[in-house]
Amino acid sequence: MLIGEDFTKIALEFNGFTLLEPNALITDFIMGGFSIYFAVQLKKIKAQHSFLKYWYYFFLIFGIGAFCGGLAHSLFEYTGPQGKFPTWISAILCAYFIEKAMIKSVKNLNKENILGKIAFTKMILIFLIVITVISTKAYQEEHTIGFIPIAINTLIGVFISVAFFSFYNIKRGYIDFKYLFIGVMIMLPSFFIFLLKVNPFPWFDKGDLSHIIIIIGNYYFYLGIKKMDYRRLPFKTD
């Protein structure tokens, strides 16, 4: 195990073709597969409420982003940092969709759609910040800085909006929101694993460990969404 530093990236060679981080490709594809499955299941019922619609968008875009992320890791020798742009874009969209979903569960707090307007404005702002960052000389020297505003935005979208609004709804007596809150708590260590560079093995590094944790957290999101009754409060007024 390594903490505070990364293992040397695994590279596989096939007749001159280089595949980097095959472990990331595998866990990204597994994560993407689960997310697409959740999206397909929610598509069947998303017409019941806009809360479901936005969660469907979240899982769909998250799954597509995970597949793109796996390819970006493995084909980095050919795509360079630009190969990560689709995943970065999907991450920004996912944060917006998950915020919109949670806002739909607290209509009493969203007078004149003020929360929706804030979420949309924030999304546009993050896009502009990322575009500005990747246009700098500093990005050319260290491309990972382009992901910093996206990581902060994800932290706000998932770990603040989902946790806060879930806790708020639980306090109002809507107990099934506990699954969403649990999902957030499960996912929370993934940020520290990345930040502290907790790498168990070369073939199962900080990214792979984070992916497994995120899969479990997403499952709890999906479980809670499926358990809710959209004919009752806080949804029936939609």
Q: What residues does each domain of the chain span?
A: 2-227
Label the pairing between strands 198-199 and 2-3: antiparallel
Confidence of residue 237 (pLDDT cuts 50, 70, 90): low
Confidence of residue 238 (pLDDT cuts 50, 70, 90): very low
Which of 62, 84, 10, 86 is CA-nearest to residue 211? 62
Dist CA 85 CA 88 (whole Å): 5
Residue pair 2/51 in contact (Cβ under 8 Å)? The answer is: no
Encode pLDDT of 131-172 as tens digits.
999 888 888 888 878 888 998 898 888 888 999 999 999 999
Residue pair 35/65 in contact (Cβ under 8 Å)? The answer is: no
Could you tell me the two tokens for 24?
């990331």
Encode pLDDT of 26-77 as tens digits.
999 999 999 999 999 999 999 999 999 999 999 999 999 999 999 998 998 8
Residue pair 34/65 in contact (Cβ under 8 Å)? The answer is: no
Name the DSSP letter for residue 11. Answer: E
